[in-house]
Amino acid sequence: MTGGVRAVCLDVDDTLVAHTASARAALHLLLGHDNAWSLWAQITDEQVTRVVAGEVDSDTMRWQRTQEFFSCLGEFIDAAEAIRREDIRVRAMRAGWDLFDDTLPCLEWLRAAGVRIAVVTNASGSYQRGKLANLGMAEFIDGVIIAGELGAAKPDPVIFHTACALLGVHPGQVAHIGDRLDLDAIGARDAGLRGVWLNRTEPVQGELPHGISVISSLAELPELLVCDLDLVVS
């Protein structure tokens, strides 16, 4: 480490935006039930890997994911039908996008404290930039790092180091906050950043991995930064 924190990186989905709730509701609209979410999430992770590797663009991936998903459920649909269903799902999901109650107050505090902010996400760039703009977050963000555009995804150190370079701050002076212990907190720690796990829902079992901080709300982030991570206020 090289002194106190001067900048932060933030995940987007389920950190700033209640993504899973809107995505599950949209899938429910297509299926009439919520029993296949884990399958959808698994296929999504696999398909996002293809985007990051440059094998397919995000738009193509989305309808191919929908086609594969329904195939796994025993329904074989052509590309046109997959595109139609994906359009229905996406429109419903976007209509359900909403910020967590603690998001804007946290961003406002960080901006008032002079902290530089980047978002680091494995999700589609068009989706994430739309969220930042439409939900009133863009004015607080100094940089956006998208895995599919960079060709590296969390927990690869490359994506974290790219964010630090964009912010102009040494990795040891950057805290990364996200809802995934593995991809966000541990990935950031292993890249030399301060890893912070935003654990909104799960009771912590046992000891945290070495070098990881945990908060249950973004409302707790200012105190963590000031008291535990030695925030350097400009």
N residues, the chain: 234
10-residue block means of pLDDT along the chain (234 residues)? Answer: 86 95 94 93 93 91 96 96 96 93 97 95 87 94 94 96 97 96 97 96 81 95 92 77
Domain ranges of the chain: 7-18+98-228, 19-96
By the 10 Å C-beta count (0-12 exposed, 13-18 middle, 19+ buried), 171 is classed as: buried
Class of domain 19-96 (CATH, top level): mainly alpha
For residue 234, what pLDDT is reported?
65
- Answer CATH for 7-18+98-228 from 2.60.120.10, 3.40.50.1000, 3.40.640.10, 3.40.50.300: 3.40.50.1000
pLDDT at position 182 is 95
- Looking at residue 204, its pLDDT comes to 73
* 3-state helix/strand/coil string of 167-233: HCCCHHHEEEEECCHHHHHHHHHHCCCEEEEECCCCCCCCCCCCCEEEECCHHHHHHHHHHHCCCCC
**CATH topology match: 7-18+98-228 vs 19-96:** no
**Can you spell out the DSSP letters for the chain?**
--SS--EEEE--BTTTB-HHHHHHHHHHHHHSSSTTHHHHHHHHHHHHHHHHTTSS-HHHHHHHHHHHHHHHTT----HHHHHHHHHHHHHHHHHH--B-TTHHHHHHHHHHTT-EEEEEESS-HHHHHHHHHHTT-GGG-SEEEEHHHHT--TTSHHHHHHHHHHHT--GGGEEEEES-IIIIIIHHHHTTSEEEEE-SSPPPPSPPPTTEEEESSGGGHHHIIIIIS-----
Q: Confirm if 176 and 208 have CB atoms less than 8 A apart.
A: no
